[in-house]
Amino acid sequence: MNVIYILCLRQLKRYFRARSRIIGSLGQPLLFLLAVGFGFGPTFKKAGGGNYIQFLAPGIILMGILFTAVFSGIEIIWDRQFGFLKETLVAPVSRFQIVLGRTLGGATVAIIQGFIILVICLIAGFHIEKPALFPVALLFMFLCALMFTALGTAIGSVLEDMQAFPLIMNFIVMPLFFFSGALFPVHGLPKALQIAIRVDPLTYGVDGFRGALGEVSLFGIGMDLMILGILTVILLAIGSYLFSRIQL
């Protein structure tokens, strides 16, 4: 447990020391919130969709969590190149504890990032309609952060080129975001697009998180939690396995 705590704390120290990273990671969510939210807001309202900021904000919050969580995997490549990973792996602890500590640290950083974006959304006009379900919303944030940090860990474990990581991540992360229903309602879409949305794990995070904050949940909060929980366990297992296969 000490190893898990130390690695988690190390992730947090890295985050708070890199102020430019904190500011930079807010750029894309803010761009979507301001440009898309206020730009398409009048059109969304005329179409009978109501307040677009109210619809968009949950997806933007999870977008910040998604990007921060997945890109935490690049730290594995960084530590490998500078020798810290070797020192960690030769320690007399199981690799599962190591990957769990790194994953929990990355997930905690992603949740902090999500809270910062949540505050910005509240300033922009978003309001929580169901305060009693806010703990459920926090659970969705935690599951999404844990799941996508595990995904970043899995990919970072098999890559050795630091420059290749952002390219592969963008190839994966952008489709995950755009096909999650974060920017547009899911119902009434073409069948092919609905299939892509239903196989996207972020869809269930956005849907459940949106439902917990007050909007209508398409699949049901219980179903979203169950699917997210299963996917999180699967990705944690895959990430742990790939991390255990690292050869130094």
Domain of residue 188 covers: 2-244
Total domains, the chain: 1
pLDDT at 37: 81
pLDDT at 106: 84
What does each of the 248 residues of the chain score in pLDDT, given as a tens digit? 565 666 666 666 666 565 556 666 677 888 888 888 888 788 777 777 678 888 889 999 999 899 888 887 777 777 777 666 666 666 666 777 777 878 888 888 889 889 999 999 998 888 888 888 899 999 999 999 999 998 888 888 787 777 777 777 778 888 899 888 888 888 778 888 888 889 999 999 999 999 998 887 888 899 999 999 999 999 988 888 887 777 65
Beta-strand ranges (E) seen in 10-149 are none
Record the pTM. 0.87
d(C-alpha 206, C-alpha 59), whole Å: 6
Q: Which phi and psi (to 5°) does residue 162 adopt?
A: -65, -35
pLDDT at 200: 92
pLDDT at 33: 85
Q: What is the DSSP letter of 125?
A: T
* Nearest alpha carbon to residue 69 among 32, 39, 30, 111: 111
pLDDT at 4: 65
pLDDT at 8: 65
d(C-alpha 202, C-alpha 197), whole Å: 9
pLDDT at 83: 64
Tokens read off for 31: 């761009």
* Nearest alpha carbon to residue 206 among 102, 60, 70: 60
d(C-alpha 120, C-alpha 209), whole Å: 17
